[in-house]
Amino acid sequence: MDPGSSGNFDGRYHPNLLQKKGLFQSDAALLTQDQSKGIAEELVNQNKFFTEFAQSMERMGAIEVLAGSAGEIRIKCSVVNS
């Protein structure tokens, strides 16, 4: 979702973000807090970006999906159904 390389998966999102070229309001919000801005600054390094992305994908792959009566589809994403 970055305008400079919309057809490729690359590490250009964070450099564009720091140049205030994010597409969404949520992109700009990442720069308003020191912690998230620091992470964005670290991820300008493409090697760091791809390493972090790969680790995130591995962690997501380890999440077990709850199916049937063990899981639930939330009516509102931020609130557990009552």
Residue that wins the pLDDT comparison between 29 and 69 = 29
Indicate whether 76 belongs to any domain. no
Total structural domains in the chain? 1
Domain that holds residue 22: 3-70
Query: In this predicted structure, which of 4-8, 31-35, 40-44, 50-54 has the lowest mean pLDDT?
Result: 4-8
Indicate whether 77 belongs to any domain. no
Question: Tokens 């995130």 appear where?
Answer: 56
* Closest by CA position to 8, among listed 80, 24, 77, 16: 16
* All residues at 6 or more sequence positions from 27 whose CB lies less than 8 Å from its CB, including other chains: 17
10 is in an annotated binding site: yes
Which residue type occupies 26?
A: S
What integer is the mean pLDDT of 3-7? 73
